[in-house]
């Protein structure tokens, strides 16, 4: 999936969540970190939509989903390879 398709997929999947106007929040805990890290692995091994759905099922805010899946340079920490 190219970058444009990923961006469109994430935007469509998170559009409903965007209306809540969630403010920026710091990572809550190690569990949140593990959820995001797992979603990144899912994206790399499967596809972006699966990663989006995984994050949404764990109540991750739409702005966080977009940042971690579409803007890897803005991730807080890289996953150890």
- What is the per-residue pLDDT across 47-61, written as a single tens digit (0 to 9) for each? 999 999 999 999 999
User: 17 in the Ramachandran plot: left (φ > 0), alpha (ψ -120 to 50) or beta?
Assistant: alpha
Q: In the chain, how many domains are there?
A: 1
Give the chain's count of helices (H) and strands (E). Answer: 4, 0
Note whether residue 79 is domain-resident: no
Domain that holds residue 44: 3-15+28-74
Domain annotation covers residue 69 = yes
Question: Does residue 22 lie within any of the structural domains?
Answer: no
Length of the chain: 81
21 assigned to some structural domain: no
pLDDT band with cut points at 50, 70 and 90 for residue 63: very high
- How many angstroms from the chain centroid is the CA of residue 66? 5
What's the predicted TM-score (pTM) here? 0.63
């Amino acid at each position: 999936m190219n970058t444009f398709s990923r961006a469109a997929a994430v935007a469509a999947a998170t559009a409903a969540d965007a209306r809540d106007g969630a403010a920026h929040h710091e990572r809550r805990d190690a569990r949140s970190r593990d959820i995001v890290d797992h979603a990144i692995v899912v994206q790399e091994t499967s596809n972006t939509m699966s990663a989006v759905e995984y994050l949404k099922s764990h109540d991750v805010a739409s702005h966080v989903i977009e940042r971690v899946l579409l803007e890897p340079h803005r991730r807080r920490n890289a996953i150890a390879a």
